Amino acid sequence: MNNRQRFDAAMHYQPRDRSPLQNFSFWAETLTEWRKQDLPEWVTLGNHTDFFGDDGGFEKFSIARSSSTGNAKPSDKGWVCAADLTIGWEPRFEEVVIEDRGEHELVQQADGVRVLRRKYMSSIPLHDSHLLVDRASWEKHYRPRFDPSTASRYPEDWKPYTTFWCDQGRDCPMFLPGGSLYGWIRNLMGLEAVSYVVHDDPAWFEEMVTTIADCIIGVLERVLACGARFEGCGIWEDMCFNGGPLLSPAHFKRFLVPHYERITSLLHKHGCDVIWVDCDGCIDELIPLWMDAGVNCMMPIEIGTWGADPVRYRREYGKDLLMMGGFDKHILADSTRAIEAEVDRLTPLIEEGGFIAYCDHRVPPDVSLEHYLFYTQKTRERWGGGVNLNPMADEAIALCGVHAR
pLDDT of 187 above 80: yes
| Same domain? 141 vs 109 | yes
Note whether 286 and 316 are within 8 A (CB). Answer: no
| Same domain? 65 vs 81 | yes
Tell me the pLDDT of the chain averaged across its residues: 93
Instruction: Decide if 400 is inside a domain.
Output: yes
319-337 confidence digits (pLDDT tens): 999 999 999 999 999 999 9
| Same domain? 40 vs 184 | yes
- Residue at which a domain ends, from 106, 128, 146: 146
Q: What is the pLDDT of residue 90?
A: 97
C-alpha to C-alpha distance for 286 and 300, rounded to whole angstroms: 15
- Residue at which a domain ends, from 120, 146, 172: 146
| Same domain? 96 vs 179 | no
| Same domain? 40 vs 57 | yes
Q: How would residue 120 be classed by pLDDT, with cut points 50, 70 and 90?
A: confident
Q: Is 39 left (phi over 0), alpha (psi -120 to 50) or beta?
A: beta
Q: How would residue 62 be classed by pLDDT, with cut points 50, 70 and 90?
A: confident
CATH of the domain at 72: 3.20.20.210
pTM of the model: 0.94
Parent domain of 380: 3-85+156-404
| Same domain? 314 vs 211 | yes
Instruction: Decide if 169 is inside a domain.
Output: yes
Q: What is the pLDDT of residue 405?
A: 35
Instruction: Decide if 151 is inside a domain.
Output: no
Lowest mean pLDDT among 114-123, 162-171, 214-223, 293-302: 114-123
Instruction: Decide if 15 is inside a domain.
Output: yes
Q: For the chain, what is the domain count?
A: 2
| Same domain? 184 vs 306 | yes
